[in-house]
């Protein structure tokens, strides 16, 4: 018997409440808070992309930040050379990063073992930074490029920077993605994707083309990250090769891990917890990067399932016994790697 | 009883007069003190950590010292100066965020900008849109060319000034054939372009330019490509790279010839502690290093003492090197605020254009305790300041002035004319 009690979806409920809070920010907060929140929303896409590639593609991608940077540069050049229509800029950026993601994925998914794939993505991230720094005529190097260009949004005049239109343009796609993820997860499509993520061998035996699916997942995650980069460029109006720094990817690992890998709401919660904390801490602590490292180590040691794990544990303890039983069943992997049992 | 107490005696009258005098004196001090309830907010977009941390440290220290010094003397137009310092971490994205914080959260009306070219270039339009007066420490040319606007005043020498000031001296004293070693960042490229054009205008030429990635761990493989027939090597380096590049030049066997370092990058590392690899090195700088070399040494003492700089140009606390141009220019930026605000009648952020117009009509800063550099002049067309500049040379562990270049000789033709 299945329970649809609120405790089963406690993490998602917390995530939805947070999304509602984000939607209210421009109305209840000052300009600076709105600016910081908008910037955080752009970075949220890297965490969402990382979670996607990790959960369904079994790759903890340390080059996910490179797609973010590529998305930002794509928007810059589309705006300068092709079109100043925001929809075209964003769609173009999605296409560029999806293609780049697919090409990268062809290499990454063929690397045997999760560890070699991680090392592979780290190498790709480092190479992309070196390449970006050597192509200063196009990337502007560490000094970067400033986007000061009149833009339109579906024909209406808009502008580069944080404003009502660009803020919601950053928030709404993330919200739709999270809701779609939630709705698709229990469907046959979602179950197959989870199966591919959890046990490639068994999935192949069941007749699913694992490699193609993983390439598609990696390409989609690259496009999601690229969309974040595109929005970053639109919101901030300045991009530089610093966006290619592997630290950007490492930060997304921190956000997703603290929130809880395995759930897109984990990425959301992690970003919403960590990003403002770091921002506040930077006023008091000089070397904030050390704090980032300490948080990552602390989370790995104390809360391996992140904030989502804590919420679920709390929900489990609060739920009636039958709910606990159902929760355990739901959390059991679709295809257990150790036993090979299918569900 | 009461009446008897009110009968004035000579002693009580004297007491009364003394008391009134004391009250008047106290009152005048109260009126002279700056109004702290309605301060003028000055933001420091400081590079307090990261590659330019030493620059940022002295930038913040000097601006705070200047603000305190002015506050003790009544502030600006009777208002106290309140300094808010933030850390850019010498990263462009963080620098932009911190500028937004200074403008939107801390409500600063004036901002002394970062020394990083990238942060400077990205910050100028943000400050302009917000109506904030921005005074950068970045030397990248484009800040006072393409990005010039009425709310931007720059007192640091850009690449064009450094090149114009040095060109004739470089060809006359060192030779015509030059090589440039630059960091692959906007500042490096800005220097390469400016010096290549400047040297060619006086009969010299640049035979090669070697670009090093910023924070390069081993510059030797790049420097081995150096043309050994050059007369001089011009360096335009990201500060921390200098400590690796000069010894590497010696290792590569090209460091024995005279070298020339430009635009104050010699202040970004402790050049005096580098020993023989830098002995004889020439440097272009906006300010002399030692107090005795200042044309108005007596009046310069105040700024040195308030900021914490000793007569040798090194820190009073410990034996640390000082980012002298940034420190002196931050002192002058605060002095500029005082002069321009009081002169123009600036009261609010909306008065930026009024302030700009007043400065255009009164472009020469009077030399003294407030403005240490002689003939400091803000050119109305692009609001780039010009002052006497110096060629220094490292001689027996001391950086001494070997040539003074008058402000008029550093002035290149304005590339834009801003509209107010």
pLDDT tens digits along B381-401 = 999 999 999 999 988 888 999
pLDDT for B263 = 55
DSSP state of A243: G
Most confident of A87-91, A157-161, B10-14, B90-94: A87-91
Tell me if the pTM is above 0.90: no
B310 CB near a chain A CB, below 8 Å? no
Contact list in A for residue B48 (CB cut-off 8 A) is 286
ipTM over 0.90: no
Residues counted in chain A: 343
For residue A234, pLDDT over 70 is answered with yes
Question: Span B28-48, mean pLDDT?
Answer: 76
Q: What is the pLDDT of residues A136-164, one digit of tens each?
A: 889 988 778 888 778 888 888 888 889 99
Q: How confident is the model at residue A5 (pLDDT cuts 50, 70, 90)?
A: low
Region of poorest pLDDT, from A100-114, A239-253, B250-264, B353-367? B250-264
Q: Which of A211-215, B5-9, B289-293 has the highest mean pLDDT?
A: B289-293
Q: What is the pLDDT of residue B118?
A: 85
Q: What's residue B275's pLDDT?
A: 78
Contact indicator for A5, A319 with CB cutoff of 8 Å: yes
Inter-chain CB proximity A136 and B214 less than 8 Å: no
To test the contact with chain B by mutation, choose from A142, A228, A234 the residue with the greatest count of B C-beta atoms within 10 A, namely A142
Question: A197 in the Ramachandran plot: left (φ > 0), alpha (ψ -120 to 50) or beta?
Answer: alpha
Q: What is the structure's pLDDT at B25? A: 44
CB contact under 8 Å between A286 and B48, yes or no, is yes
Q: Does B184 touch chain A (CB under 8 A)?
A: yes
pLDDT at position B52 over 90: no
**Which letter does DSSP use for residue B173 in this model?**
I
d(CA A318, CA A320): 7
Q: Cβ of B241 under 8 Å from any chain A Cβ?
A: no
Helix (H, G, I), strand (E, B) or coil at A37: helix
**pLDDT above 70: residue B261:** no
Contact B63, B111 (CB under 8 A): no
**What pLDDT is stored for residue B23 in this prediction?**
45
Would an 8 Å CB–CB cutoff place B136 in contact with chain A?
no
pLDDT exceeds cutoff 70 at A174: yes
Is the pLDDT reported for residue B200 higher than 60?
yes
Nearest CA in chain B to A243: B93
Cβ(A264)–Cβ(A177) under 8 Å? Answer: yes
Q: Which residues pair with A146 in a beta bridge?
A: A238
Residue by residue, DSSP assigns B372-397 as -STT-EE-TTT-BEE--EEEEEEETT
> How open is the CA angle B188-B191-B197, to the nearest 5 degrees?
140
Average model confidence (pLDDT) for chain A?
83
Q: Which of A30, A146, A147, A239 best tests the B interface by mutation, with the highest count of B CBs <10 A?
A: A146
Contact status, residue B343 vs residue B336, Cβ threshold 8 Å:
no
Percentage of residues in chain B having pLDDT higher than 90: 51
Asked whether the beta carbons of A100 and A64 are under 8 A apart, the reply is: no
Whether B258 has a pLDDT exceeding 70, the answer reads no
Please report, rounded to a whole number, the percentage of residues in chain B having pLDDT higher than 70. 89
Residue A30 or B80, more confident: B80
Tell me: pLDDT of A74 over 80: yes
Q: Domains along chain A?
A: 2-324 (1.10.3470)
Per-residue pLDDT tens over the stretch A100-131 = 999 999 988 877 766 778 888 889 999 999 88
Q: What mean pLDDT comes out for the span A269-279?
A: 86
Say what the pLDDT of residue A329 is: 44
Please determine, for residue B103, whether its predicted confidence score (pLDDT) is greater than 60: yes
The per-residue pLDDT for A8 is 64
Q: Which of A28-42, B271-285, B302-316 has the lowest mean pLDDT?
A: B271-285
Going by pLDDT thresholds of 50, 70 and 90, the confidence category of residue A176 is very high
DSSP for B133-158, please give it.
EEE-----GGGGTTT--TTB-B-S--
pLDDT exceeds cutoff 90 at B41: yes
Start-to-end CA distance of chain A, whole Å, equals: 16
Which residues, in sequence order, are CB contacts of A168 under 8 Å at separation 6+? A23
């Amino acid at each position: 018997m299945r329970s649809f009690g609120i405790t089963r979806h406690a993490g998602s409920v917390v995530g939805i409440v947070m999304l509602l809070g984000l939607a209210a920010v421009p109305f209840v907060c000052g300009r600076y808070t709105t600016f910081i929140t908008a910037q955080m929303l752009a970075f949220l896409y890297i965490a969402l992309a990382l979670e996607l590639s990790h959960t369904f593609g079994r790759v903890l991608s340390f080059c996910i930040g490179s797609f973010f940077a590529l998305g930002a540069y794509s928007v810059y050049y589309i705006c300068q050379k092709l079109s100043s229509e925001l929809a075209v800029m964003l769609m173009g950026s999605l296409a560029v990063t999806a293609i780049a993601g697919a090409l990268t994925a062809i290499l990454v998914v063929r690397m045997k073992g999760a560890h070699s794939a991680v090392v592979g993505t780290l190498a790709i991230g480092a190479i992309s930074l070196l390449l970006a720094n050597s192509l200063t005529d196009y990337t502007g190097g560490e000094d970067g490029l400033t986007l000061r260009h009149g833009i339109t949004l579906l024909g209406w005049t808009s502008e580069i920077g944080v404003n009502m239109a660009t803020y919601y343009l950053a928030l709404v796609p993330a919200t739709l993605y999270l809701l779609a993820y939630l709705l698709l997860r229990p469907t046959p499509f979602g179950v197959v994707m989870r199966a591919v993520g959890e046990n490639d061998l068994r999935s192949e035996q069941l007749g699913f083309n694992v490699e193609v699916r993983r390439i598609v997942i990696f390409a989609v995650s690259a496009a999601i990250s690229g969309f974040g980069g595109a929005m970053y460029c639109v919101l901030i109006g300045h991009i530089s090769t610093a966006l290619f720094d592997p630290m950007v990817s490492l930060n997304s690992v921190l956000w997703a891990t603290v929130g809880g890998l395995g759930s897109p709401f984990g990425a959301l919660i992690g970003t919403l917890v960590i990003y403002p904390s770091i921002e506040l801490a930077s006023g008091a602590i000089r070397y904030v990067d050390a704090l980032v490292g300490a948080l990552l180590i602390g989370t790995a040691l104390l809360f391996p399932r992140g904030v989502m794990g804590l919420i679920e544990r709390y929900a489990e303890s609060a739920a009636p016994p039958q709910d606990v039983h159902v929760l355990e069943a739901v959390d059991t992997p679709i295809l257990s790697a150790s036993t090979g049992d299918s569900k | 009883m009461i009446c008897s107490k009110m009968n004035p005696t000579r002693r009580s009258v004297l007491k009364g007069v003394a008391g009134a005098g004391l009250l008047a004196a106290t009152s005048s001090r109260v009126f002279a003190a700056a109004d702290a309830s309605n301060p003028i907010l000055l933001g420091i977009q400081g590079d307090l950590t990261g590659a330019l941390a030493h620059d940022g440290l002295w930038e913040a220290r000097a601006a705070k010292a200047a603000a305190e010094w002015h506050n003790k003397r009544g502030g600006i137009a009777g208002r106290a100066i309140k300094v808010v310092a933030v850390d850019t971490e010498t990263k462009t994205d963080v620098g932009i965020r911190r500028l937004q914080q200074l403008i939107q959260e801390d409500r600063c009306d004036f901002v002394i900008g970062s020394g990083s070219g990238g942060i400077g270039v990205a910050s100028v339009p943000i400050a302009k849109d917000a109506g904030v007066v921005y005074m950068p420490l970045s030397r990248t040319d484009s800040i006072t060319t393409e990005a010039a606007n009425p709310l931007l005043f720059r007192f640091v020498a850009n690449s064009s000034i450094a090149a114009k000031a040095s060109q004739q001296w470089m060809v006359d004293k060192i030779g015509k054939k030059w090589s440039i070693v630059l960091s692959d960042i906007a500042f490096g490229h800005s220097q390469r372009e400016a010096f290549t054009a400047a040297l060619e205008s006086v009969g010299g030429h640049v035979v090669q330019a070697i670009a090093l990635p910023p924070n390069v761990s081993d510059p030797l493989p790049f420097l081995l490509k150096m043309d050994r027939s050059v007369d001089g090597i011009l360096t335009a380096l990201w500060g921390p790279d200098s400590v690796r590049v000069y010894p590497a030049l010696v290792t590569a066997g090209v460091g024995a010839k005279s070298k020339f370092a430009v635009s104050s990058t010699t202040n970004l590392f402790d050049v005096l502690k580098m020993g023989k690899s830098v002995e004889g090195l020439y440097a272009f700088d906006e300010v002399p290093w030692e107090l005795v070399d200042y044309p108005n040494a007596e009046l310069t003492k105040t700024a040195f003492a308030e900021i914490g700089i000793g007569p040798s140009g090194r820190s009073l606390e410990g034996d640390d090197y000082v980012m002298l141009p940034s420190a002196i220019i931050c002192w002058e930026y605060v002095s500029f605020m005082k002069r321009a605000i009081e002169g123009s009648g600036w009261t609010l952020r909306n008065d930026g254009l009024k302030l700009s117009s007043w400065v255009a009509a009164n472009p020469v800063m009077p030399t003294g305790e407030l403005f240490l550099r002689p003939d400091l002049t803000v050119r109305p067309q692009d609001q780039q300041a010009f002052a006497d500049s110096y060629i220094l040379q490292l001689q027996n562990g001391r950086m001494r002035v070997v040539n003074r270049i008058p402000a008029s000789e550093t002035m290149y033709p304005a590339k834009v004319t801003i509209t107010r």
